[in-house]
Amino acid sequence: MHQPNRQHTFQDNSESLEKKDKQHEDNLKFLKTQINQLDESIRDLQVSLGRYHCSANVAETANDNSSHTEEETMGQILQQENSAAGVFCWLKANHLSQALDLPLTKDVLGVVANLARVDDDNLSRLLSEYLGLETMLAIVSKTFEGVKALEKYDGEGIVNSRTGLHLLGSSIGKRINGRFLVICLEDLRPYAGGFVADDQQRKLDLPKPKLQNGECPPGFLDYAVNMINLDRRNLSCLTASGHGLRETLFYGLFSRLQIYRTRSEMLLALTCITDGALSLDGGMIKKPGVFDLGSRKDVEVKFPVASGKSNAPVTYIQTEDMIKKLEWERSKFVEDMQREQQLLDHANFTRHA
């Protein structure tokens, strides 16, 4: 009688076990990928909930009964009478023909404070305080030609007060005192990444901060650069190289400044804060290791608050329901993953027993 080849049988069994192990390992990889995708979706939805909290959470400290309008922001700038921003905004507000024909009005877009809006007054105060008055009053030009048109100098390097913005100021009885900040968009290094898909505001697709355990810090709402709103005119404003205001001006000002719900949650996330952070209850980290303590300051010039409010309660409920659904799906994938891991561990134990 023919005897089976034991060595051949052992080899067949070994190959069969290896195939089963490979199948378990592939299943584990697939399940892990699914869990990671669900985690990302859940974090995105939690950020959208956080944006709603941003407008509703700290109302009593922000005096949100009256939204800060664009007209009020313009009024605050005009109160800085002897500033370059005050002079420029006065000229634009009064549509002076002599100003409209100058290169500075062709390339100069405006002042930082009136180039964006935010969702609520509390966020307006926080971002404005973080930037400081000098930056909020900075004049923004698309080109270096626009910068040069603002100010000229004599042979000894002294400012020629009979040219540029200084001349226009004198023509309306205003004198520009001291230095003033000007930002040239075409000289800024723009954000090099992509944009959030199907987002009308062209928000930057920045990776969410992660703690050492790989999870997004509790209380993280969003990056400041994505929490400002641009109107249609400013959204369509592009440099010669095709970059918009968000990825040039506001990325240059805020970089990856993170916004948290509370100071305590912000402090728990210190290990993943790279470019500073703010919390809705007034916490401020200028950069890693540099904390801004004390009471909030009175803000002289603030960003205007967006007038259009979304249907937050309905959106909020739908988003919460979606998070619960995704978390349920995730729990099922985790259970499947645990079963696959047990089967793989059992197979390895049996083989080596």
Which amino acid is residue 301, in one-letter code? V
Which amino acid is residue 131, in one-letter code? L
pLDDT of residue 140: 94
Residue 94 has, within 13 A of its CA and on its CB side, a CA count of 13
pLDDT of residue 96: 58
Domain boundaries, the chain: 42-310, 314-353
Size of the chain in residues: 353
Taking the C-alpha atoms of residue 217 and residue 283, their distance in angstroms, rounded to an integer, is: 16
Give the tens place of pLDDT for each residue, 260-289: 999 999 999 999 999 999 999 999 999 888
Residue 296 has, within 13 A of its CA and on its CB side, a CA count of 20
Taking the C-alpha atoms of residue 43 and residue 133, their distance in angstroms, rounded to an integer, is: 34
pLDDT of residue 61: 42
pLDDT of residue 326: 82
In the 3-class helix/strand/coil scheme, how is the chain assigned residue by residue?
CCCCCHHHHHHHHHHHHHHHHHHHHHHHHHHHHHHHHHHHHHHHHHHHHHHHHHHHCCHHHHCCCCCCCHHHHHHHHHHCCCCHHHHHHHHHHCCCHHHHCCHHHHHEEEEHHHCCEECCHHHHHHHHHHHCHHHHCCEEECCHHHHHHHCCECCCCCECCCCHHHHHHHHCCCCCCCCCCEEEHHHCCCCCCCECCCCCCCCECCCCCCCCCCCCCCCEEEEHHHCEECCHHHHCCECCCCCECHHHHHHHHHCCCEEECCHHHHHHCHHHCCCCEEECCCCEEEECCEECCCCCCCCCCCCCECCCCCCHHHHHHHHHHHHHHHHHHHHHHHHHHHHHHHHHHHHHHHHHC
Assess contact for 168 and 126: CB atoms under 8 A: no
Taking the C-alpha atoms of residue 207 and residue 225, their distance in angstroms, rounded to an integer, is: 13
Assess contact for 254 and 223: CB atoms under 8 A: yes
Residues of the chain falling short of pLDDT 70: 1-17, 48-67, 94-105, 307-318, 320-321, 349-353
Q: Is the pTM of this model over 0.85?
A: no
